[in-house]
Structure 1
Amino acid sequence: MVARFRVLSLMIQKQRLLFVTGTRADFGKIEPLAKAAIADGFSVSFFVTGMHMLESYGLTKIEVNRLAGASVHEFVNQRPGDPQDVILAKTMLGFSDFIMEDKPDLVLVHGDRVEALACALVCATNYVKCAHIEGGEVSGTIDEILRHCNSKLAYCHFVSSQTAARRVQALGEDDSSIHVIGSPELDIHGQPSGFTLQDVLSHYEIRTADYGICILHPVTSEAATMGQQAQDLCAALQASGKYFVVIKPNNDPGSEGILKVLETLPRSQFQIIPSMRFGRFSELLRNAGCLVGNSSAGVREAPFLGVASLDVGTRQTDRAFGPSISKLPASDMQGILQFIETNWHKRFARGAEFGDGNATEHFITLLNSEAFWQRSMQKQFHDIAS
């Protein structure tokens, strides 16, 4: 009876949630969850690091600080040019110091970034509950390896699809720790963005409402060739004669080659933007002629909005398929031109592989479940029955 009273008392007080964010992209995915948790009475804080702290990438920590009701701790974990292992080590040291003081009940990390891996490692070695968001997905690059590592380190898993859930289970994770909630960012895309298209065009000085979007991130295992891939892709986009809004890549190895190519593009046909507020990006995407590049937005958000996307290269290998998604190497100029000509402003039925836009509802239901908090932290490998 005493033990049950303590559990009920804990539930009434609500737990302290700490979200880790290192990029504009992962913040866009976890912001809906954080807002829902704040509204439901949980104590919410953010550990802000990575690209958020770099002025060259738009100093996007500003976006996190705009979130009402959440406390924010900022940590600079890198200098320009730092290799991934150094960033990993710096983040572990900073995060370890922080949680010894903050003492969260649950740390939430997202995806496959090195910052997420650092924080998941700190949580595992200190027996702090850690939830991994959007594990169980594949891409065929180092990102996939980091993502699976995060899953193995985590206390529980908020995955985006049944397919992802099966993959996490195949890693030996207990089925009771795996929760299919969908992709949180689709909650935003499923609602009005809060901006008009004209607002977005004016804010970013985009010349025309007849535009496409290009996002090309580096593939770390192909860092030496990313400059050439960017050059090939941008040559095709330039040859199409269409106007493109280009969002700068993340800062993984290989980004320098991409950025050098972007600097050469004519501003009459390309508008280069360091980063975008998520609501504005949502409005831009839903009105785009198409999306080209290797961002996860091309295999997740664009299909949800019915926008045609061209997945370029290997970064999203085997991650998703659908009638709105095409796949080509950056070197296939004729194929890229054909895609643009055929799919410009073509609309498809909404893709529902990554959820129905209700991830936050599923998330809050789980957080308010007594069983969610009472699972043992002693992990065991669960073989899949043959």
Structure 2
Amino acid sequence: MIRTVAVFTGTRAEYGLLYWLLKDIQACADFDLRIIAGGMHFSPEFGETWRQIEEDGFHIDAKVELLLSSNSSVGVVKSMGVGMIGFADALDRLRPDILLVLGDRFETIAIAQSALIMQIPIGHIHGGEITEGAYDDAIRHAITKMASFHFVAAEPYRERVVQMGEQPDRVLCVGAVGLDHITRSTRLTLHELATSLRFDLRRPYFLVTYHPVTAANEDPVSVFKCLLEALDFFPDYQVIITYPNADNGGRYIIPLLKQYAEEHPSRILAIASLGSERYLSAMSYAAAVVGNSSSGIIEAPALNRPTVNIGVRQEGRLASASVVNCGVDLPSIRGALNVALSEAHSDAIKKAKNPYGQGDAAAAIVQFLASSKFDVPKKFYDLE
């Protein structure tokens, strides 16, 4: 019997991570894929990235517009409420046998709550991780308790999910799904990337993404200004800056990066969304990946690129030796950039190991789902 698998995506980054899993589900004769898209995908401000989903050959079965144009926590909560109304209608119409969600964002917990109440089993990807600088941390653990199946990125995360009371035989360590791009996707040459971006990339460059920190005393505007000042100490390097996500405070950063790019048009490129192919291509040639995105922790080490990880947003995550952690002030960021560009750090990267798997997560998830029963009641697992 063919079973319906619904997959939710709410952001450009999350969709990029899910791409090969979506392809493998789509190709599996046991499953009927249904895609539910919402959040940033439908915002012109963030690039209307739903178009990329359809250009990649997928059909969006439910479009849930929920994002309010707000910088406040109140706006985020109201967006979640709007989303739950749309998710209820979408799930009621599609009635999937299982819903797959990835990660820890507010859009994701909104659909997970909807599925929980509607008794639709949930498979959760990237549970068990720690990111102490964002309320995403609590969201991730909450989704774990709503989910019946778990696909984690490393063994310590599997142990943590089991510690939270989840049945061990339902917690599978598959590695990070985003690394499937490293082993399976083609990447643009540097010339093709420059042509696509309409931006000269003959000089070395930094790839920069900074997101607001939502659960710590880290003002996004002041930190981002320090980051821009630090970049000015490296005038021989060009900079590709992508927009932040739609968390509260993110819209304060966008005017700053736009102005910075306008003041340095030949050196700085500001772009709402690169898309998966261009983002990973840009990362593979970057002199350093800079900011506080999880991609600097998970994907950049797999491409042997140095990362400057700023502040506490990713604090608690497993990290390769290629990652240089630093504070949020100008001297710390500037110093970390110097370390990341050093010959000694380049030598260290060659010996570093990425703790997030081998780039074969999607196939493992599909194989596990194909052999699983979705309607078995969930029970709490007590540690001995």
| Pairing of 1:134-173 with structure 2 (within 5 A) | 134-140=126-132, 141-173=134-166
Mapped to 1, the partners of 2:127 and 2:97 lie a distance apart of 21
Question: Who is 1:216 aligned against?
Answer: 210
Mapped to 2, the partners of 1:245 and 1:219 lie a distance apart of 21
Return the letter of the residue paired with 1:220.
Answer: T
Mapped to 1, the partners of 2:140 and 2:322 lie a distance apart of 26
Q: Deviations over 1:67-119 (max 9, x none)?
A: 32544321111221162211111111111111111111111111001111011
TM-score by structure 2 length?
0.91
Return the letter of the residue paired with 2:380.
Answer: F
Mapped to 2, the partners of 1:341 and 1:101 lie a distance apart of 52
| Residue of 207, 220, 224 corresponding to 1:230 | 224
Mapped to 2, the partners of 1:253 and 1:235 lie a distance apart of 23
**Partner of 2:68: helix, strand, or coil?**
coil
| Pairing of 1:173-212 with structure 2 (within 5 A) | 173-209=166-202, 210-212=204-206
Return the letter of the residue paired with 1:118.
Answer: A
**Partner of 1:85: helix, strand, or coil?**
helix
| Pairing of 1:275-286 with structure 2 (within 5 A) | 275-286=273-284
Mapped to 1, the partners of 2:139 and 2:265 lie a distance apart of 37
Mapped to 2, the partners of 1:194 and 1:231 lie a distance apart of 32
Q: Deviations over 1:232-275 (max 9, x none)?
A: 01100111222111111001111123223212312232110110
| 8 A Cα contact 1:38 1:70, kept in partner | no
Return the letter of the residue paired with 2:342.
Answer: T
| 8 A Cα contact 2:68 2:76, kept in partner | no
Question: Who is 2:382 aligned against?
Answer: 383
Mapped to 2, the partners of 1:131 and 1:350 lie a distance apart of 31
| 8 A Cα contact 1:294 1:312, kept in partner | yes
**Partner of 1:284: helix, strand, or coil?**
helix
**Partner of 1:319: helix, strand, or coil?**
coil
Mapped to 2, the partners of 1:165 and 1:224 lie a distance apart of 30
Question: Who is 1:30 aligned against?
Answer: 18
Give the RMSD, CA atoms, in angstroms: 1.9
Question: Who is 2:63 aligned against?
Answer: 74
Q: Deviations over 1:301-339 (max 9, x none)?
A: 011111110110011002022220110012024413422
**Partner of 1:299: helix, strand, or coil?**
helix
| 8 A Cα contact 2:158 2:171, kept in partner | yes
**Partner of 2:99: helix, strand, or coil?**
strand
Q: Following TM superposition, by how much is the alpha carbon of 1:201 offset from its aligned partner in structure 2, in angstroms?
A: 1.2
Mapped to 2, the partners of 1:282 and 1:341 lie a distance apart of 20
| Residue of 35, 50, 58 corresponding to 2:39 | 50
Unaligned runs of 5+ in 1: 1-9
Return the letter of the residue paired with 1:380.
Answer: K
| Pairing of 1:1-386 with structure 2 (within 5 A) | 10=1, 14-41=2-29, 42-68=31-57, 70-81=59-70, 83-140=75-132, 141-209=134-202, 210-222=204-216, 225-241=219-235, 242-265=237-260, 266-331=264-329, 332-342=332-342, 346=346, 348-349=350-351, 351-369=353-371, 372-374=372-374, 376-377=376-377, 379-385=378-384
Q: Following TM superposition, by how much is the alpha carbon of 1:26 offset from its aligned partner in structure 2, in angstroms?
A: 0.6
Q: Following TM superposition, by how much is the alpha carbon of 1:344 offset from its aligned partner in structure 2, in angstroms?
A: 10
Residues 343 and 154 (structure 1), Cα distance of their counterparts in 2 relative to 1, 3 Å cut: farther
Return the letter of the residue paired with 2:315.
Answer: T
Mapped to 2, the partners of 1:334 and 1:68 lie a distance apart of 42
Residues 300 and 110 (structure 1), Cα distance of their counterparts in 2 relative to 1, 3 Å cut: same
**Partner of 2:350: helix, strand, or coil?**
coil
Aligned length: 370
Aligned-pair identity (%): 26
Residues 337 and 296 (structure 1), Cα distance of their counterparts in 2 relative to 1, 3 Å cut: closer
Residues 374 and 112 (structure 1), Cα distance of their counterparts in 2 relative to 1, 3 Å cut: closer
TM-score by structure 1 length?
0.91
| 8 A Cα contact 1:262 1:272, kept in partner | yes
**Partner of 1:383: helix, strand, or coil?**
coil
| 8 A Cα contact 1:91 1:115, kept in partner | yes
| 8 A Cα contact 1:217 1:250, kept in partner | yes
Q: Following TM superposition, by how much is the alpha carbon of 1:381 offset from its aligned partner in structure 2, in angstroms?
A: 2.3
| 8 A Cα contact 1:43 1:70, kept in partner | no
| 8 A Cα contact 2:326 2:333, kept in partner | no
Q: Deviations over 1:35-79 (max 9, x none)?
A: 001111221111111000000111000111123254432111122
Q: Following TM superposition, by how much is the alpha carbon of 1:194 offset from its aligned partner in structure 2, in angstroms?
A: 4.3
**Partner of 1:83: helix, strand, or coil?**
helix
Mapped to 2, the partners of 1:46 and 1:192 lie a distance apart of 21
Mapped to 1, the partners of 2:176 and 2:333 lie a distance apart of 32
**Partner of 1:326: helix, strand, or coil?**
strand
**Partner of 1:137: helix, strand, or coil?**
coil
Mapped to 1, the partners of 2:55 and 2:36 lie a distance apart of 14
Residues 343 and 164 (structure 1), Cα distance of their counterparts in 2 relative to 1, 3 Å cut: farther
Return the letter of the residue paired with 1:21.
Answer: T
